[in-house]
Amino acid sequence: MRLKSLKLVSTSLALLFFFSCLTINIYFPEAEVQKAAEEIVDEIRKGQEDKDKKDKDSQIIDMMQAMNSTRGSFSLIPSAYAQEKATDVTTPKVRALQQSMKERFPKLRPFFVKGNVGEGNDGFIKIRDESGLNLKEKATLRNLEKDENNDRKNMYAEVARAMEIKPNQISKIQKIFAAEWIKKASSGWWIQNESGGWTKKQ
């Protein structure tokens, strides 16, 4: 009887320890990762895609500054132009990866527009269709895909490291970033749904 009781206590303690560990391991700072993803993707994509708009905004700012110089010290320039949005997950490696992807995006964008490449549901880009591309363009696209996905992989790992998230939860970071990449995709670009099917973004 005593042996049975000891076994029962031991089993109960083992189960308690297991579920305690499980509870610790499944914690994931989803809101914080979401915020980081929004800011990082926005910095990479919006700044490049709206280049013409920024040039126009720059002209407006110049005009407003000229007006302000004739009206005294009262400023009409919105504070949004005065400050750059900074991410909470700011490390030298994150900034370097951001800059790398930001510089690559103008080269990738034509392939998104033509439908050669799309945003995958796992946080990586995928080549969909190479028809209409010559050999040089195919090679360029494949190199861009490889470099972009390598940067994204490193970005997800760096975000996990900076936020002290366990490596076995990086797939959750990828999913959050995937939703953000798709959100920032332009109308007409190909995006992958949860079941793996492809559709054009409306």
Reported as a single tens digit per residue, the pLDDT across 164-173 is 999 999 999 9
Higher pLDDT: 22 or 32? It is: 32
The predicted pLDDT at position 26 comes to 63
Among candidate residues 190, 163, 41, 17, the one with its CA nearest the CA of residue 90: 163
Instruction: State how far the Cα of 161 lies from the Cα of 182, in Å rounded to an integer.
Output: 24
pLDDT digits (tens, 9 = 90+) for 140-160: 999 999 999 999 999 999 999
pLDDT digits (tens, 9 = 90+) for 107-151: 999 999 999 999 999 999 999 999 999 999 999 999 999 999 999
